[in-house]
Amino acid sequence: MKTSNGNTSIMDMFEKGKVLKICSPMVRYSKLAFRSLVRKYNCDICFTPMIVASDFMQSVKARDSEFTTNESDRPLIVQFASQDAQTLADAACVVAPFSDGVDINCGCPQRWAMSAGFGACLINKPELVKDMVTHVRNQVDNPNYTVSIKIRIHKDLRRTVDLCQKAESAGVSWITVHGRTAEERHQPVHYEAIKTIKDSVSIPVIANGDIKYLRDVESTYQLTGVDGVMAARGLLANPAMFTGYEDTPLECIWDWVDFSLEQGTPFTCFHHHLIYMLERVTSQPERKVFNSLSSTSAVIDYLQNTYGTVNDLGT
C-alpha cells in the first residue's frame, strides 16, 4: 500500500477551478474494485463505504474486511460513522497512512444508524461534530490530511448553516451536502439550500443528490456554485458516467469483470454491480435471465454470448 508522504493534499485539487467529480460512499458497493473502475472513467476522488469506527477499532476481522486498498487507489477518503470523538480519531490514525482523509457520516438516514447515535442525527449535534473534527485534526500527524463531513439539511436551513459554520471554525476541510432532509428519499433535491450553504462558508462544498449524467454535473454547478459533485446511484447504473456516456459502455462492463477477477470480488457483489450497469440497456426478459445466473463463469459466458468481448468492438 502506498503510504501518504504528507507533502500533497486533496485540497490542492480544489484550486484548479474545476468541478471535482466524486464517487459517494456506498455500503457494500464503493469497495476497491468499483473504485478502481470509476477512477478509470474520470472520477477524481473516491470514498470507501461507511465504516462503523467502534467496530473497526475493536475487531481485526472488521479492519481487514472493511478497509482494503492498493497503490493506485488514490485520492481516497475513508468514511466513518461514529458518536465518539476519540474513537473516530483512533480510527483515523489507523487509516491515515493509506488514505488522504477521513469523512464523518452525518447524513445516513437509516433508523439503525440514527438509533446508534450516528448518521443524520449528528446534524442536530453541532458541538459533537466540532469535537470530532478537532480530535482528528489534533491527532493525525499529517497537516495535509483532510477531515470532511457529509450532511443532510434541516427543514430550518438556519440550523444547517450554523452547523456548517461551526464545523468550519473547528477546521473541517470541506462539506458534502446531500440536498434533502433526513426524512426525504426521492423528493427533488433542494439546490437553493446547497447554494445557501455554499455562500455561507469559505471552504469547498460538494453537492450530492440526483447526479445521473455528466450534464447534471454542469447544471448542479450552475445552480449552486459548488466545488464538486458526488454521485452514488448514477455511478452504480453507469460507472463511466463522468466521461459522458449516457449508458454503461461495453468496455466498462468488461473492465468491471477484469477488476473483479483481479481483486477476488465475491460473486454476489460482482453480479449486483452488473445488474445495475445493465438495467437501462436490457429488456425485462433479458434481465430475468441475467439476474438468475449463479456463478461467475455463467455471467462471463452470458456477457460474451450476448454482447461480445471488447475485441469485438473494432469489428
What distance lies between CA 55 and its chain's CA centroid?
Answer: 20
The residues pairing with 151 across neighbouring beta strands, listed in sequence order, are 106, 177
C-alpha–C-alpha distance, residues 66 and 123, integer Å: 25
Q: Please check if 79 is assigned to a binding site.
A: yes
Radius of gyration over every alpha carbon of the chain, rounded to an integer in angstroms: 20
C-alpha–C-alpha distance, residues 199 and 195, integer Å: 6
Grid cell 455471467 in the structure block, residue: 299
Grid coordinates given for 122: 449528528
In order of 101, 115, 272, 313, the CA distances from 205 in angstroms are 16, 28, 31, 40
Helix (H) or strand (E) holding 163: helix 157-170
C-alpha–C-alpha distance, residues 277 and 279, integer Å: 6
Q: Please check if 26 is assigned to a binding site.
A: yes
Q: Please check if 233 is assigned to a binding site.
A: yes
Catalytic residue among 23, 43, 46, 108: 108
Is 164 one of the annotated active-site residues of the chain?
A: no
The b-or-e profile of 231-270 (16+ CB within 10 A means b, else e) is bbebbbbbbbbbbebeebbeebbbbbbebbeeeebeeeeb
Q: Please check if 135 is assigned to a binding site.
A: no
**One-letter amino acid of 187:** Q
Find all residues with CB under 8 Å of 18, minimum gap 6, and list them: none
Q: Please check if 271 is assigned to a binding site.
A: no
Q: What is the largest CA-CA distance in the chain?
A: 61
Residues 208, 230 contacting (CB under 8 angstroms):
yes
Catalytically active residues are 108
The binding site consists of 25-27, 79, 178, 232-233
Residues annotated in a binding site for FMN = 25-27, 79, 178, 232-233
